A and B are shown apart, each in its own frame.
Chain A
Amino acid sequence: MTTNITDTQPSTNGSPGRSSKPAMSPATPARRARGDGRFALWLVLPTLLVLAAVIGYPVLRAVVRSLYDDRLGRDPSFIGLDNYASILFGGGAEKFWAALGNTLFFSFTTVVFELLIGMTLALVMNRAFKGRGIVRAVVLVPWAIPTAVAAVLWKWTFDANGIVNHLLGSQILWTGSEWPAKWAIVFADTWKTAPFIALLVLAGLQTISQEVYEAARVDGAGPIRRFFSITLPLARPAIVVAVLFRLLDVLRIYDLPQIFTNGANNTRTLSMLVVEESIGNLHVGVGSALSTLTFLIVFIIAFIYIRLLGARVMSSANGAS
C-alpha cells in the first residue's frame, strides 16, 4: 500500500517539470522530450511488470475472488456483491463495524500521541547539546524492536501481576477488560512508533536555516512565536508525510492487538478480521471482500487526509501548474 502512495509522488513532482519545458523552447527539444519519455518507459517497464505481478495481480485477484462464495466441497460460484452485503449489513455486520471502529480509534489516538511526542523528541534532538548522538540512538531503540517482540514485552509488563500494576499499586486487568486493553495497546504502539515520527520530523527541522531564526529573533519574535511562525510551517511537509506514513501503517494494525489480547475485549481490528476470515475460517471470498473494503477505507482516509492537510504541500511541489 505504501508503495502505491510513494509511487504517485515522483510522478506528480515530475510532470510539471516536463510539461513546462516545451513551453519555454520550441520544436526540437519537444520531440526530444517525447523521445525521452518513450526511453524512460522502456527503462521503467521491468519495474512496472514486477509491480503488476506482485501488487496488481494479488489486488485484482482478491477483488475478483470477493465476488465468489465459499461453499464447501465444490467450486466457488459467482454471487455478485453478496459477500459485501453480508459484511456491511448482514451476519458479519456487527463484527465488521466493531473492527472498523477499533481500527479508527487506534489510528486516531496513536497518531495524535505519536505526533505530539515525536515532535517533542525531534525538537530536543535538533538542539545542539552534549550527548546528542547518544540521545538520538536511544530514542530509536523502540523503533528497532520488531513489533511482535515489543507486543510480548508489553504483554508481560501489563500482566495482572506485572510491573505496571506494581508501580501504580493497582489491580487493573490490562488484557482482561475493554478500555484498559485499548489504552494499553495505544500506549505500546505510541512507545514503539513515536521515534519514527521524531526521525522524519527531525529531518525536516534540519533543513530550516538557522538564519531565519536569527532574523526572527532580531525582529523581536519570542520562542513561541518562532515555533508557530517558522518551525511549524517550514517543517510542515515533513510532518505531513510522517503522519501519512503512520496513518497508512496503523490502519493495518495487526500484530500488537493480536498478541496482546487475541482480539478479546473488543480490540479486534480490520486486519485481524481479514486474517481470521480468510485463513482461520477458510472463507476466502468473505476474506477477500473484507480486504478489499480495508483497502478502500485506507485509500479514502489517505485521500481525504492529503486533500485536507497535504493540499498546500502537494501544490507547492507542483508549482504554478
Chain B
Amino acid sequence: MKITRILATGAVFTVAAGLMAGCSSSGGGEGSADGRGPITFAQGKDTTGKLQSLIDDWNADHPDEEVKFVELPESADEQRTALVQDFQAGAGTYDVAGLDVVWTAEFAARDWLVPLDDIDTDGLFPSTVASGTYDGTLFAAPYNTNAGFLYYRTDLVDQAPTTWAELAEDCEIAKANSINCYAGQLAQYEGLTVNFSEAVNSAGGSIVDSTGKVTLDTPEARAGLEFLVNGFADGDIPAEAVTYQEEEGRRAFQSGGLLFLRNWPYVYGLATQEGGDSVVQDKIGIAPIPGENGAGASTLGGYNLAIAKTSDHQQTAKDFITFLESEDAQRSILTDLGLPPVRSSLYDDSELQESIPYLATLKEALENAVARPQAVSYNEFSKTISEDVYKALQGDASVDETLSGLQSKLQDIAEGS
C-alpha cells in the first residue's frame, strides 16, 4: 500500500514536471511585416451572415491572399478571452482581429499589435480614429462605430430636450401622464461606465485627460455624476433603472412606460417595427443626447481592426483592412450588416438617409462622440467605475465621496499598469 502510494505520487510529479517544462518553452516568434499570403480574420459572431459575402468579394480578387473568417462568440467578454488567450500564448492563429474600441490600449501595451501608421484614416470620424490610437500611434483601424441616442415620445413632447435642464422640465409632462421620465443603462456593468462617462463628457469634463491623468476631481465630473444621482433623488429616473441594461430599458420604453430613453441605434428598428410588441411604434423620435449646456457627447461604441504581431502576412492584412475601410465595403457594412460605418461621407448620402431614417442624427451624435478612456487595465478601470457609481446612484455614497474615491483608485490603476 505504501509503495503504491509513493509510486503514484512519483508518477504524478514526473508527469507534472514534464508538462511544466514543455509549457514554459512556448511563445511565438515575430511575424513578417511585408509578407503576403492567406490570412485569418477573427471577429465576433456575424448574425446577418453577410460579412462572409464581403470577404468572398476580396477572395475573388486575391486568389493568393485568401481571407479565412473565424467567428468568435457573440459576447464581447468571450471574444476578448479568446483573443487574449491566443495572443498571450503567441499562437498566431489570427492575423487580423476585430477589437472592441476599449481594448486598444490593453492589447497595444502588451505588445501584441502591429502599428498601423500607413493605414489611411482620411474621411473617417476623428473620434473613431482616436479610439484605435494608443500613445499617439494607430494600433487598431476603425471598422464600425456606434453612438447613443435620446429616444423620446413624439406624442408627448414636441421637441427633444437639448440640455439637462430642459430634460428635467419635460419630466413634468411624464409626471402628468403618470409614466417615468428618463432611463439609460444604469445596472452595475459596462453599460454604467458608458452612461457615466457620457454624463461627464456631456458636462464638458473627462475621465482621463490627454496626458493620462484621471480628472474626476473637477466641477465638470461632479456635474455629470449629479445629473444621474439627482435624477434618482428627484424621481426623474425611476428607482428600478438601477436594474436596467439595454433590453430592460428598451422594454420599458416600448411598453409606453418611459418618456425618454438613452440607448443605441438598434432600438430604433425594434421599437418602430410594425406588429412588434411596441405600443409606441409610430410615436418615436430620436435626437442626440442632451448635455449640461447644449448637445451632449455620446460615448463611442464599435469595433476596430488590428493586426497580430505574430502574423506572417502583415502586408496582406493591411491591404485587407484598407479594403474593409473603402467606401464600398463600408456601405455594405451599413446596408447588409446593419452596423454604423466609420466613413463620414456615407452619412450624407441622400439615398441611404432615406432608407435609414436615423442616419442624420447618428452623424450628429458621432461628430460629438468621445471614446471611452484609454486605459491599459481597462477592465479593472471600468469595473471600478461601475461599482462606485452604482453605489452613488443607490444613495449609499455621496457624490463627493464617490468622485474622490474614484479619482485616487483610478489613478492607482492607471499608474500601476
Contact = CB atoms under 8 A, between A and B. Distances in A.
A281 interface: yes
Interface in B372-417: 376-377, 379-380, 383, 387, 390, 394, 417
B15 A56 contact: yes
B380 A280 contact: yes
Interface string B182-206: 0000011100000000000000000
A263 B188 contact: yes
Contacts of A60: 16, 20
A282 B377 CA distance: 8
Interface in B214-267: 239-240, 242-243, 248, 252
Interface string B51-88: 00000000000000000000000000100010010000
Nearest to B240: A160
Given A280-B380, A282-B84, A72 B240 contact: no
A3 B238 CA distance: 48
Interface stretch (A169-177, A230-238, A242-250, A311-319): A169-177
Contacts of A177: 394
Interface stretch (B3-11, B156-164, B293-301, B341-349): B3-11
Interface in A243-272: 261-265
Contact of B242 (A18, A48, A173, A263): A173
Interface residues of B, number: 38
B242 A72 contact: no
A173 B16 contact: no
Contacts of B188: 261-265
A183 interface: no
B252 to A, nearest CB: 8
A57 interface: yes
Contacts of B109: 72-73
Given A73-B109, A262-B189, A280-B383, A18 B15 contact: no
B329 to A, nearest CB: 32
> For this complex, into which size category does the number of interface residues on chain A fall?
35 or more
A56 B379 contact: no
Nearest to B379: A280
Interface string A169-196: 0010111110000000000000000000
Nearest to B4: A41
Interface string A40-71: 11000100110111001100110010000000
A49 B308 CA distance: 36
Interface in A154-213: 159-161, 171, 173-177
A41 B19 CA distance: 22
A48 B4 CA distance: 11
A52 B11 contact: yes
Interface of A: 15, 18-19, 37-38, 40-41, 45, 48-49, 51-53, 56-57, 60-61, 64, 72-73, 159-161, 171, 173-177, 261-265, 276, 279-282
Given A159-B243, A264-B187, A264-B390, 14 more contacts: A45-B11, A53-B19, A73-B110, A160-B248, A161-B240, A171-B240, A173-B243, A263-B188, A276-B383, A279-B84, A281-B377, A281-B380, A281-B383, A282-B379
